[in-house]
Amino acid sequence: MLTKRQNLKEVMTGGNPDRFVNQYEFLEIIMEMPLGVEFRYGETWKDQWGITWQWPEGQLGQFPVHDDEHIVIKDITKWREQVTVPPIPMDAASWAAAKEHADRIDRNEMYVAPFYAPGIFEQCHHLMGIENALMALYEEPEAMKDLIDAIVERELDFAKAVVEHVKPDAMFHHDDWGSQINSFLSPEMFEEFYLPAYKKVYSYYKENGVELIVHHSDSFAANLVPFMIDMGIDIWQGVMNTNDIPKLIKEYGGKITFMGGLHSGQIDFPEWTPEIAAEFVEETCKTNGKHYFIPCLTSGLPMSSFEGVYDAVTKEIDRMSKELF
C-alpha cells in the first residue's frame, strides 16, 4: 500500500494510485501561524490591520464590517495614510508553537503545510469592501498596484519566517477568486494585477524547499487555471462542480491537480444525511476519475460546518476506492 504522499504523487502524475486521495489526508495543516488571524464565533473584534470583523451567532462564517464608521480604506489614493501594515514577527518565540507542531509530523507520510489567509485579493477587499476594491482596479490602478505590492511584501516577510522556523514542504494558501458561477475579475484584469503578485510569493516558496502549493478558492475559476499553473499552484483546492471538472482535467491534467468536486453547500447543511453524502461522492468519483483529481468538500479546511459531514464524506470516498480501484 502506498503512503499518502506516494499515492498523491501517483494521482498528480497520472501514475498508478492504489486509491483515491481522501480529502485533506496528505496535508498536516499548521494553524499556529503568528498572522493575527482569529476565528471568534458570536463576537465582533478588530484585527491587526484595523479591520472590524463580525461572526454573528447562527452564521457559518465571519466577514468584515464595511460601513462608513468601520471601513479602513476610505480613499484608495490615500491608502498609505489609512493603512498600517502589521509586521510579521520574526523571533523564535512567536513561531515556537508552529515549529513544535511541524516537528511532530512524519514527513515521509504527510506534507507539513502552514496555513495562510487572507490571500492578496481578499486582503484588498477586506480593507475597503469588495465593490470598492473592484472599482479601484479600474479607476485608480496605480494606487491599487501599490497596495498590492505592500501586501505582497508582508507575505514575503511571512514566507522568510516560515521557511526559517517551520521548513514546510507544502503551503496551504487561501484566496477566493470567484463566485459559484464566475470569477470576480476578468482574466485580463487578474493577469495584470494578481498574477505578478502571486508569482513573486509562490516562486519564493518553490525556491526555498516548498514542494507543493495548495491554493484554496471555493469558486468558479476555470478561466483562471492557466494563471494558476503559471504562478506555481500544484493543487487547486475548492474547485466547485459549477466548473466543468472533467474538461479541466482533460485540458490541464499533469500541470495541475483539482481538489474538490463536492460542493459543501449541497452536502454540508443542517438537514444533511449520510445518503446525500454517498450520492454526491459516488457521482463525483465516477465522473472525475483517478488522475489529477482529489475528491474533497470544497470548504477550506478539513472540517465541516455541521457535525458528522466531513467524516461521512471520508467514509464514502473510502468506499469508492474499494469499488473503483
0.85 cut: is pTM over it?
Answer: yes
Q: Is the pLDDT of residue 31 over 90?
A: yes
CATH of the domain at 104: 3.20.20.210
pLDDT band for 36, please (50, 70, 90 cuts). confident
The per-residue pLDDT of the chain, averaged, comes to 97
Domain of 222? 4-324
- What are the tens digits of pLDDT across the range 83-137? 999 999 999 999 999 999 999 999 999 999 999 999 999 999 999 999 999 999 9
DSSP string, 107-167: TTT-EEEEEE-S-HHHHHHHHH-HHHHHHHHHH-HHHHHHHHHHHHHHHHHHHHHHHHHT-
Rg of the chain over Cα atoms, rounded to whole angstroms, equals 20
Q: Is the pLDDT of residue 244 over 90?
A: yes
The more confidently predicted of residues 38 and 245 is 245
- What are the tens digits of pLDDT across the range 16-25? 999 999 999 9
Domain count, the chain: 1
DSSP string, 256-303: -EEEEEE-HHHHSSTT--HHHHHHHHHHHHHHH-SSSEEEEESSSSS-
